[in-house]
Amino acid sequence: MNSHLQFDFTVNKANNTVNVKREFAASNDLVWAAWTQAELLDQWWAPKPYQTKTKSMDFRVGGTWLYAMYSPENQAHWCRADYLKIEDQKMYSAIDAFCDENGVMNNDFPRSTWTNVFVSQGEKTMVDITIAYQSLNDLEKIIELGFKEGFTMAMGNLDQYFEAKFK
């Protein structure tokens, strides 16, 4: 990861949110594409050594992204995102959940509502992410599962993707 890029990860237990501000060394259109196109998400979304494989993606309001993160032992961890709001190149929000391979939600795990805002800064782009949970218990459960560590690794994967693209 480029140490000159901003990365703030804050857990706010008072309002059951995780707030992440993450800067990338790429233009807004490239960062937007990396977050909204299945073939690009599959290259960076899962923390290594896991790999993401998209089963289906319909990036529109009311659409769904159904994907699995595969372990090195080929064990699949299925997830889905249901898109709520999209403003092209500016922001999108979605409800995320663990599920099975058919998209049926696993109610043993909390759902989260993601709002990702993309701010162009010339050759760099800031992504301001707010992840909201229904309760403090839900937030704490996700943190205990290693969300911060996994998401930090995925952000590093995206840095590597951009570095490779520009070399």
Q: What is the pLDDT of residues 49-88, one digit of tens each?
A: 999 999 999 999 999 999 999 999 999 999 999 999 999 9
* Residue at 124 is within a domain: yes
Averaged pLDDT, 120-133? 96
> pLDDT value at position 43?
96
* Residue at 2 is within a domain: no
Task: Quote the pTM value.
Answer: 0.93
**Residue the block writes with tokens 């709520």:** 84
User: The dihedral of CA 149, 151, 153, 159: what is its sign?
Assistant: negative
In whole angstroms, how far apart are CA 8 and each of 4, 21, 44, 72, 75? 12, 5, 19, 29, 31
* Residue at 167 is within a domain: no
Question: Domain tally for the chain?
Answer: 1
* Residue at 25 is within a domain: yes
Q: In what order do the strands lie in the sheet with 17-24?
A: 7-12, 17-24, 124-133, 112-121, 91-98, 76-87, 64-70, 51-57
Residue 141 sits in a domain whose CATH number is 3.30.530.20
Backbone angles phi, psi at 160, to 5 degrees: -65, -40
Domain that holds residue 145: 7-155
* Residue at 14 is within a domain: yes
Q: Could you tell me what percent of the chain has a pLDDT over 70?
A: 98
> pLDDT value at position 3?
57
